[in-house]
Amino acid sequence: MTGPLADLLVLDLTRALAGPHAAMTLGDLGARVIKIEPPNGDDSRSWGPPFMDDSEHTSTYFLSANRNKESVVLDLKSPEDARLLERMVARADVLMENYRPGVLDRLGFSMDRLHELNPRLIVLSITGFGHDGPEASRAGYDQIAQGEGGIMSLTGVGAPTKVGVPIGDLVAGVNGVVGVLAALHERASTGRGRVVRTSLLAGMVGFHAFQGTRWTVAKEVPGLAGGHHPSIAPYGMFATATAPIQIACGSESLWRALCGTLGWDPAVDGFATNRERVANRPALVERLESDFASAPAEHWLALLDAAGVPSGKVRTLDDVYEWEQTRSQGLVVTVDHATLGPIELPGSPLRFDDNAYSGARETHLAPPLLGEHTEAARAEFAEA
């Protein structure tokens, strides 16, 4: 193993996306991650189409969140398998779980029991709505969390719309990783582990940013943001003669640069300040798109770039993954899958120093087949 976490052993008892994404992030950073799966596997193995084989057990969904892991199948209701997990826990640094509150206790692995087995263990527990409180028992699914956490009330045009990726799951996973790394840092001085808790709800509320303070401070309930920033203008998506472009005038100097490109007077009545432009956004958008309709997107992007006005395309994913800039950042990695052969996956968002490797790993492991490493683990963690 290579990477800054290469000395860590992580047990991933999670399924679906929030927990698996968190565990994969640690794996990307070099940790050894053993994914503990029930006999029928992680639910996301069958979330498709698309599937990559005839068994409907290798979905692209599963492939997206499980690289750099080993797969060990255990039935935790089996005394033998439960004892094997106990031996694994005793040697692990981190254990991740996203069961509903109380389920792990009923399986015999309460937080107290886990720390009896290994006082240095860091436990990450991800739930849907928190481990306590009046609605702690609710199941956590991204679609529900986006709605309950307010994100859908801010997203879309005309009607609340979920984000196009499972943002509730992904944010919870990232938050979980932050908590785990903080707990590992603390353990270096205390010698003791602790339980890190987060939830899909916490992630959604924690990512409200300025939209949250619009209510908590100003008592203003934000509405659908659509394709434009609610507090800055012009800052959003605009139609051209061919394809939409995006512009971000985050300062008065950038507004003046945009006006210079278009031959406008930046002090024109109604648009002279950001406050005026936000108040008169419909008229501003209409006037900008009237000018932009005269030429294709590439024409305007070249002019805006020359003027120093932040702008860009709205790329489809095929375009993103073929884009030279994406690949230059290590954001696409190739792995050798046991049945599919060489496949490309989205890479880690982290690089270190001038290292070209995604997550600072020179090579990445393909997402495992179900139970691919079970027998090896039984031998490695056998009773003494």
Say if residue 162's pLDDT is above 70.
Answer: yes
- Please name which of 212, 197, 195, 158 lies closest in space to residue 18, comparing C-alpha atoms: 197
Active site residues: 169
**49 shares a domain with 72:** yes
**349 shares a domain with 303:** no
Kindly state whether residue 214 falls inside one of the protein's structural domains: no
Kindly state whether residue 235 falls inside one of the protein's structural domains: no
**166 shares a domain with 61:** yes
Strand partners, 122: 94
Count of Cβ atoms closer than 10 Å to residue 220 Cβ: 12
pLDDT of residue 142: 96
**194 shares a domain with 283:** no
- Read off the CATH number of the domain in which 179 is found: 3.40.50.10540
Confidence of residue 133 (pLDDT cuts 50, 70, 90): very high
**189 shares a domain with 46:** yes
Residue bearing the bigger pLDDT, 50 or 168 = 168
Arithmetic mean of pLDDT, 218-229? 94
Say if residue 53's pLDDT is above 80.
Answer: no
CA distances from residue 178 to 147, 171, 277 in whole angstroms, order as listed: 24, 11, 38
| Residue type at position 165 | V
Contact 34, 11 (CB under 8 A): yes
The Cα 161–Cα 231 span in angstroms is 20
Confidence of residue 153 (pLDDT cuts 50, 70, 90): very high
| Residue type at position 151 | I
Q: Which residue has the tokens 């008065």?
A: 252
Q: Give me 384's structure tokens.
A: 């003494």
Q: What is the pLDDT of residues 284-342, one digit of tens each?
A: 999 999 999 999 999 999 999 999 999 999 999 999 999 999 999 999 999 999 999 99
Confidence of residue 55 (pLDDT cuts 50, 70, 90): low
Alpha carbon dihedral 301, 302, 307, 310, in 10-degree steps, equals 30
Q: What is the pLDDT of residues 231-260, one digit of tens each?
A: 999 999 999 999 999 999 999 999 999 999
Q: Are strands 245-248 and 70-73 parallel, antiparallel or unpaired?
A: unpaired
pLDDT of residue 92: 98
Q: Give me 349's structure tokens.
A: 């968002």
- Please name which of 373, 351, 370 lies closest in space to residue 63, comparing C-alpha atoms: 370
**169 shares a domain with 41:** yes
3-state secondary structure (DSSP) of residue 155: coil
Kindly state whether residue 267 falls inside one of the protein's structural domains: yes
- Please name which of 225, 277, 231, 280 lies closest in space to residue 255, comparing C-alpha atoms: 277
**First CA to last CA distance, the chain:** 26
Say if residue 54's pLDDT is above 70.
Answer: no
Q: What is the pLDDT of residues 350-365, one digit of tens each?
A: 999 888 777 888 899 9
The total number of structural domains that make up the chain: 2
CA angle, corner 216, sides to 212 and 218, nearest 5?
Answer: 100
- What is the model's pTM? 0.93
Alpha carbon dihedral 231, 234, 240, 242, in 10-degree steps, equals -50
Kindly state whether residue 99 falls inside one of the protein's structural domains: yes
Q: Give me 201's structure tokens.
A: 């709800």
Strand partners, 59: 51
Say if residue 266's pLDDT is above 70.
Answer: yes
Kindly state whether residue 276 falls inside one of the protein's structural domains: yes
- Please name which of 124, 142, 111 lies closest in space to residue 13, comparing C-alpha atoms: 124
Q: What is the pLDDT of residues 14-49, one digit of tens each?
A: 999 999 999 999 999 999 999 999 999 999 999 988
Which residue, 288, 313, 338, sits at the end of a domain? 313
Strand partners, 336: 342
Kindly state whether residue 282 falls inside one of the protein's structural domains: yes
The mean of the pLDDT values for the chain is: 95
pLDDT of residue 258: 98
What is the chain's percent helix, strand, coil content, to nearest 5?
40, 15, 45
**372 shares a domain with 338:** yes
Q: Which domain holds residue 274?
A: 245-313
Q: What is the pLDDT of residues 86-105, one digit of tens each?
A: 999 999 999 999 999 899 99
Which residue, 313, 341, 370, sits at the end of a domain? 313
Strand partners, 248: 235
Q: Give the residue ranges of DSSP H helices in 280-347.
A: 281-292, 297-307, 317-322, 324-328
